[in-house]
Structure 1
Amino acid sequence: MIEVEVKGYADDSIFERVREEFELMRKEHHEDTYYQHPCRDFAETDEALRIRIRRFDGHFEAFLTYKGPKLDSTSKTREEIEVPINDPDEHTRILEALGFREVLTVEKVREKYYVEKGITITLDEVEGLGKFIEAEAVTEDRDKVPELVERLKRLLLELGVTRFERRSYLELLLEKEG
């Protein structure tokens, strides 16, 4: 699966426009813990491995996710492999036993909105970074990526986004700390 994603900086007015124009699917709390491979530098290879704990409506879900290198020069589009996990603590123990080390945990509140079939918008309030908006679509066809990127970018521009961001929240937080 290829996750086509365009992200921009947001403010209260952009959040309000989305809340007025689109249907809220759900509000979630995310705790994303990222890991460094023992033998290669994910910062150099532009990959990511994380365990995400997602809490909503009194429930929780957890996922182990691998994200491959970005596929184009303007968006955050990349191959993503994600599997549900039942016990994040035990998966963490496995990763650590294999030599992976924890890099950082990114915490955010996410509101997910339905735009149309196959397209969603998320409003993120990221601890230590502020407000962001992401437009996302999923495809199996790499040839459709450029068209989807442009469509998502137009959507964000129409909502008032003036500044786009290609770096991940992890990259932004590490840069801020460094």
Structure 2
Amino acid sequence: MSQKTRNVEIKARVNDVKDIIKKVAGLCNTKAEVIEQTDTFYKTENGRLKLREFKDGTGELIYYERPDVEGPKLSNYSKSMVIDPTSLKTVLQMALGAIGTVKKTRMLSHFNQTRIHVDEVVGLGNFLELEVVLSDNQKPEDGIQTAQMILEMLGVPASDLLSGSYLDCLKLL
């Protein structure tokens, strides 16, 4: 089943991962879920398409459109659960061609309508990602305000914000 939704997303470089994990735990008051993920990105004319593979052998096919600007940005996306990502990966590679892979260990926490990720990205380092999931009646400005409030609560300076994706950062190396 595919679902289409929107969120406001923001990424920031993390200099002190132990400190940010402690702050996120205090804010969320729950233990984070640890998720190992491998995202393979494919050539598309519009937006971005990635196949996300999980350690348990399942996956998600995710298409999204998001501007590459610093700070909070609106992301429109649709995703579909995949029970055989290995064979789908072969099909997508043959049909579209892969443009890169991002491997990460993600610590997922929730704060109200926001998914808070502390990511360790292979080859890049540690990052904080906020995804403020918008309801149908919410405006992007609502999500931007929420993301900025959480960044302030966590003490993340604007100078640490990223404009692009992890794949974009890896390509710059």
TM-score, normalized by the shorter chain, greater than 0.5: yes
Q: How does 1:1-178 map to 2 (within 5 A)?
A: 1-10=5-14, 11-12=16-17, 13-22=19-28, 23-37=30-44, 40=45, 45=46, 47-55=47-55, 59-70=56-67, 74-98=71-95, 100-116=96-112, 118-141=113-136, 144-162=139-157, 163-176=160-173
Paired-residue identity, %: 26
For residue 20 of structure 1, give the secondary structure of its aligned residue in structure 2. Answer: helix
For the aligned residue pairs, the C-alpha RMSD in angstroms reads 2.1
**Aligned length in residues:** 164
Unaligned runs of 5+ in 1: none
Q: 1:103 to 1:15 in 2, by over 3 A?
A: same
Unaligned runs of 5+ in 2: none
Q: 1:142 to 1:172 in 2, by over 3 A?
A: farther
Contact 2:115–2:131, Cα closer than 8 Å, also in 1: yes
Range moving further from structure 2, 166-175 or 9-18: 9-18
In the superposition, the TM-score normalised over structure 2's length comes to: 0.84
Q: 1:171 to 1:158 in 2, by over 3 A?
A: same
In the superposition, the TM-score normalised over structure 1's length comes to: 0.82
Question: How far is the alpha carbon of 1:96 from its aligned partner?
Answer: 2.9
